[in-house]
Amino acid sequence: MNSPLSSQIDLRFGDASKIIEEIQGPVDLVFLDADKENYSHYFDLLIDKVRSGGIILADNVLWSGKVVKPVKENDKSTIALMAFNEKIQHDVRVENVLLPVRDGIMMIRKIKKYD
């Protein structure tokens, strides 16, 4: 990595569930771009590792606009993303904003009292 901050960045690739289990925390920033059917599961594994004020960026939450259209019952990725979006909206430990950039990025900030 060619960043002057590379010593502060922990970049990992692989099976997300296994990687998340290995992380001790606290974590400042997570960029979540994995299999959509497990976004809710990854969030559950991550939230206690994220520090107060920390951010989870969830990519592809608009899913080419499919999350606001009628969904085919076999479209598991879209159904999972819709459930994830709904879950985040109702989770009292976080506040969020959806950035309509490209395929949608949800910025999820952990609220201090839940650290």
CATH number at residue 91: 3.40.50.150
Q: What is the pTM of this model?
A: 0.85
Q: Report if residue 101 sits inside a domain.
A: yes
- pLDDT of 27 over the 80 cut: yes
- pLDDT of 34 over the 70 cut: yes
Q: In the structure, what pLDDT confidence band is assigned to residue 92 with cuts at 50, 70 and 90?
A: very high
> Tell me, what amino acid is at 9?
I
Q: Report if residue 88 sits inside a domain.
A: yes
| Mean pLDDT of the region 5-12 | 82
The per-residue b/e assignment along 60-90, b for 16 or more CB within 10 angstroms, e otherwise, is bbbbeebbeeebeeeeeebbbbbebbeebee
Q: Report if residue 32 sits inside a domain.
A: yes
Q: Report if residue 99 sits inside a domain.
A: yes
Q: Report if residue 80 sits inside a domain.
A: yes
Q: Report if residue 33 sits inside a domain.
A: yes
Residue 61's domain comprises 26-114
Closest CA to 27 of 13, 3, 4, 11: 11
Q: Total structural domains in the chain?
A: 1
Could you give the CA distance from residue 84 to residue 37 in angstroms, rounded to a whole number?
A: 9
- pLDDT of 78 over the 90 cut: no
**Digit-coded pLDDT (tens) for 63-76:** 877 777 787 888 89
Q: Report if residue 6 sits inside a domain.
A: no
State residue 114's pLDDT score.
58
